[in-house]
Structure 1
Amino acid sequence: MAGTALKVNQSNSNSNLRIAWLLPSAFFYWQPAISKLAQMFPQTTVFTGLWQGFAPGFENTFAVEVLERKIIQLSRTSTGYGNNFTYLPLNIVNRLLRFKPHLIFTSSFGIWTMLALLLKPLAKWRVVIAYEGSSPSVDFRGSALRLALRRAMVKAADALITNSHAGKAYLIDILKAKENNVFHQPYEVPATTALVGCTKEDKQSNLHQLQRPVFLFVGGIIPRKGLHLLLEACVVLQKQGYRNYTLLVVGDGAQRQELEAFSENHALADCVKWAGRVDYGNLGAYFNSADVFVLPTLEDTWGVVVLEAMALGKAVLCSKRAGAAEMVIEGENGYLFEPQQPEELAKVMSRFIEQPNLSVSMGDKSQQLMAQHTPEVAAQFLAKVTSFVVRN
């Protein structure tokens, strides 16, 4: 196994540095940064338990190996992620020993991260833990056992990365990571080309006919995403006499039938339109048809959909309980709100109804902000972390 040891010298170029990514779920939002990183480090392989295929424009830009996972739900909550056990195949060990990575980026504190760290002294690889962001259901601040285990993993890791300030604070203040080993910058960022990469569907043809302003929701129709609270805000707007707008709902999920009935029962049918599930490569048409994006989530460690909306020039109304709320500058590219206070959300929605040009100026600001958070910038950040770990 000594062959995997890194010898940092002039001959150790990017082309022969092997990088493994351990991702229990390799959702589309991982691909832009990893794809750009793979251009710098061609021997990059993603090992994942869930693979939905390449996003449009990123086909075969890096190697992928799929190991089937299983999720066992231990407890359920209507406001958060719940408590799940994700079974990840232990034969990841054989795959890694065969690949012989010099560096492993591994997501969060699951079994794959534990195995990578346990094998580290033998395999001589470096390990970077990627902690997406901080939120109550995933931080486990009330579990002494989990915190002790996580602190041990943090101590054994060579570095840690996170998208958010809240994630950085959790790693340093709660898990006692050394500050100079923690790197904070959004790395789960979108590529607009992937969102508009597919041929338009027929059902998109009537989007331009919607009553403006158009407020857009994109996500799973499940309690945690807070769509029911957004609909309650629409009821408040109706009571205040506001009916000259559209709420466009893109997504599907267990709550859809219930919330469609709620919409009918509260006379919102003229304002609320249901698009159903839309392929990732077709989402751009829906973003482009909207004026304002709304994320009413009750819990999200990050929330890449906020960055997708910003990259496509949308004003954003974002729940304070999303990690990506850090991307919203109050009053400049959008507003933050407490999701369980529909009156508060209705108030900021009414501003866009009364001031049609507000969404344009805020959308322009969103695009300006996202110019600092492109896949290329994210890849440079990951390359910087790679250099830090390799040279130390």
Structure 2
Amino acid sequence: MNPSSLTDRTRVALVTNMLPPYRIGFYNEIARHVDLTVVLDTLSEFNRGWQASADGHRFRTVIQNCRSFIYKRHREDVHYTEPRQFHFSEKTYGVLSAADPQVVVTAEYGFRTLWSLLYGWLHRVPVLVYSEGTCHTEGHVGLFKRLVRQLIVSRTARFWSNGPESSRLLESYGAASSEIDEGMTGIDTLEWQADVTHWRERRDETRMELGLKGRVFLFSGSLSARKGVLQMAEAVEAVAREPDCPEFSILALGDGEHRAKLEEWAAKNPGIRVVMPGFVQHHELPRYFAAADWAMLPTLDDNWPLATLETLVAGLPQLFSMYNGASADLCLPDTGLLFDPLDPENFRAILSAALRSPLERVPEERILQFSIHYSAASQGQRAAASIKAALARPRD
């Protein structure tokens, strides 16, 4: 196929594990450029609380309902263990054969990608790998896994990455920088910004309803060891003990394995105002972001958490974890402060500095810059350009 002939009839299959609501805008924008089928292992995984639907989108959805099992991932270097779901994706080749795509985009390095590469080899179809891992989150693998990933990379036409951190991992597996397309992440930024602006008009009402006082620090994510919530509790308690500590509140959105521990900690520290509404559906989050002054995500292990982008687009300065793959892209002097959540003194000092700093929102021009770059429309344009480039690549 001539790459200049890329149209809304060019058949593209995107193979991934599930359908989170924050990806739908991106997939809809890709579907403006091509005939898109999204192939899912499952609609949602065991530890996801969002309401997912496969209907009402510009793209078709095929749910494989693959076999899966729960395993525990151990990260001794950053001190956490977390249950995860592994999918066998044994149906992928058959689904691709039925869909007959002219380009396949596949996520990460598991069975779905091996099946995708087999399909691409047999049908002479370019395969792109969508890799979000970083050298911190995925770089410490055994020799066998590394050899498999190097083989996958050697047979891939192009690569999608979130940004420089995930690009570095790809390059460590042998990918050429000229074949990596960055910025393949984001949200419906303009809609998100409009929703937050709407709720800012009722900010005082929301804060009163939730019992928030003083400077409000927002946490949005799973209440799990990986997200650093226990380190957050320790730092908050240390700041609260400081002389002449200004009034502040913690607004923790989400649910997870450490919710009970945080509730117990809050009960033992009645002088610290902690509000925990529980899990909040994605479309309801802007109300809470509008009520906050700062945000923090003390993650110990994250590829590119979209809560970081949501915070920036909402205009909130934030504390950026050095283990957050998005920090390399989004942490600037006017967007927040970088810190190490595994260093208790550094965490306390940076939180104290944010609490005592002049209260300023992220500048509007910075919000606009990132809102445009990480919008679903911009992602879709980058994806279309990458697909064109893959089609132009000479076949082996």
TM bin, normalised by shorter chain, reads 0.7 to 0.9
Partner in structure 2 of residue 262 of structure 1: 265
Partner in structure 2 of residue 150 of structure 1: 149
Partner in structure 2 of residue 272 of structure 1: 274
Identify unmatched segments of 5+ residues in structure 1: 1-6
TM-score of the two chains, using structure 1 as the length reference: 0.87
What is the CA–CA distance in structure 1 between the aligned matches of 2:59 and 2:347, rounded to whole Å?
Answer: 41
Change (3 A) 1:301 1:75: closer
CA contact (8 A) 1:312 1:367 kept: no
> How high is the sequence identity, in percent, across the aligned residues?
20
CA contact (8 A) 1:81 1:137 kept: no
Partner in structure 1 of residue 315 of structure 2: 313
Partner in structure 1 of residue 20 of structure 2: 27
What is the CA–CA distance in structure 1 between the aligned matches of 2:41 and 2:121, rounded to whole Å?
Answer: 25
What is the CA–CA distance in structure 1 between the aligned matches of 2:81 and 2:178, rounded to whole Å?
Answer: 30
Aligned match for 2:38, one of 5, 30, 46: 46
Partner in structure 2 of residue 4 of structure 1: none
Partner in structure 1 of residue 47 of structure 2: none
337-346 or 377-386, which moves further after superposition? Answer: 337-346
* RMSD (Å) for aligned C-alpha atoms: 2.7
The amino acid across from 1:44 in the alignment is: L
Change (3 A) 1:296 1:24: same
What is the CA–CA distance in structure 2 between the aligned matches of 1:62 and 1:353, rounded to whole Å?
Answer: 45
Aligned-pair distance for 1:291?
Answer: 1.2
Aligned-pair distance for 1:121?
Answer: 2.1
346-355 or 253-262, which moves further after superposition? Answer: 346-355
CA contact (8 A) 1:243 1:271 kept: no
Aligned-pair distance for 1:367?
Answer: 4.6
Change (3 A) 1:236 1:9: closer
The count of corresponding residues between Structure 1 and Structure 2 is 375
TM-score of the two chains, using structure 2 as the length reference: 0.86
CA deviation vs aligned residue, 1:189-211 (integer Å, no higher than 9, x gap): 343536949x99xxx99532221
Identify unmatched segments of 5+ residues in structure 2: 45-49
2:131 aligned with 1:131, yes or no? yes
Change (3 A) 1:83 1:145: farther
What is the CA–CA distance in structure 2 between the aligned matches of 1:132 and 1:13, rounded to whole Å?
Answer: 26
What is the CA–CA distance in structure 1 between the aligned matches of 2:20 and 2:362, rounded to whole Å?
Answer: 31
Partner in structure 2 of residue 98 of structure 1: 98
Aligned-pair distance for 1:371?
Answer: 3.0
Moved over 4 A (4+): 52-56, 80-85, 194-197, 361-364
Aligned-pair distance for 1:331?
Answer: 2.5
143-152 or 345-354, which moves further after superposition? Answer: 345-354
Look up the SS of the partner of 1:139 in the other structure.
coil
Aligned-pair distance for 1:318?
Answer: 1.2
What is the CA–CA distance in structure 2 between the aligned matches of 1:366 and 1:336, rounded to whole Å?
Answer: 18
2:2 aligned with 1:8, yes or no? yes
2:366 aligned with 1:372, yes or no? no
Superposed, 1:296-307 pairs within 5 Å as 296-307=298-309
Partner in structure 2 of residue 234 of structure 1: 236
240-249 or 183-192, which moves further after superposition? Answer: 183-192
Aligned-pair distance for 1:177?
Answer: 1.4
What is the CA–CA distance in structure 2 between the aligned matches of 1:156 and 1:304, rounded to whole Å?
Answer: 29
CA contact (8 A) 1:316 1:334 kept: yes
What is the CA–CA distance in structure 2 between the aligned matches of 1:166 and 1:37, rounded to whole Å?
Answer: 24
Aligned-pair distance for 1:347?
Answer: 2.5
